[in-house]
Structure 1
Amino acid sequence: MEEQRKATEGTTEEVSVQKQGNSYVLTGREGKVGEITYQMVDVGTWVIDHTYIDPRYRGHNLARQLLNMVVDEAREKGRKIIPSCSFALEQFEQNPEYADVWDNKTSTKYADPYSSDSVSQSGP
């Protein structure tokens, strides 16, 4: 389990990150505060389909840290990623460091800009 620290209302709260199946989950004192999930499309490709950070924890780059964990795992396993949730797609479009894992030939087919659970750039 990886530990990360986050400031909340003038105090420091421990937030832990744990891999659970095809997701990474952030947990604080009061339980789950965020997650990113992905699904296997085929043997070499994953779709990131959901990113969420509790509104009380946004603004501390936690969603980006979760995204980086999925990207790092994809690199280690030689996988490509289709960023389906709006947050992941926006990050892939704005940051060239994801180009090596981005399966952008098909990503627009899966993009869901209307997902209510997705996190926008201004959110996390």
Structure 2
Amino acid sequence: MTDINDQITEEITETKGSYSYRAEGAVAEMTYSRAGEHLIIIDHTDVPEAFRGQGVGVALVTRAVTDARTRGHKILPLCPFAAAQFRRHAEWGDVLNR
């Protein structure tokens, strides 16, 4: 399989955004809302069965963290999966909206 991180794409509108990974006819997606100029709220992560256990969900959240650092944003992870990843990755605390 191609490196997951290299295959993640982002789509942004004025109020929303998403990160997607597409392979083998399936799509994994993490969506977020833009709350002001410097805050995104991760509201949903969907990883189809075809990708389970391959780290796709974590890769989507990791990409959001990397982009938040670059852009000077904070993240509020309301999605249970994303929130769990933030609890597991203390090193992401710099972008966590507390």
Residues in 2 aligned to 1:16 and 1:101: alpha-carbon distance in whole angstroms: 23
Stretches of 4+ aligned residues off by more than 6 angstroms: none
Residues in 2 aligned to 1:29 and 1:40: alpha-carbon distance in whole angstroms: 30
Unaligned runs of 5+ in 1: 6-14, 105-124
Shift of the alpha carbon at 1:86?
A: 0.1
Aligned to 2:37: 43
Q: Is 2:17 the partner of 1:17?
A: no
Aligned to 1:94: 88
Q: Is the 8 A contact 1:27 1:34 kept in 2?
A: yes
Task: Quote the RMSD (CA, aligned, Å).
Answer: 1.6
Could you tell me which amino acid in structure 1 is paired with residue 23 of structure 2? G
TM-score by length of 1: 0.68
- Percentage of pairs with the same residue: 30
Shift of the alpha carbon at 1:18?
A: 1.6
SS at match of 1:100: helix
Compare CA radii of gyration and give the structure with the larger one. 1
Per residue, is there more helix in 1 or in 2? 2
Shift of the alpha carbon at 1:39?
A: 1.0
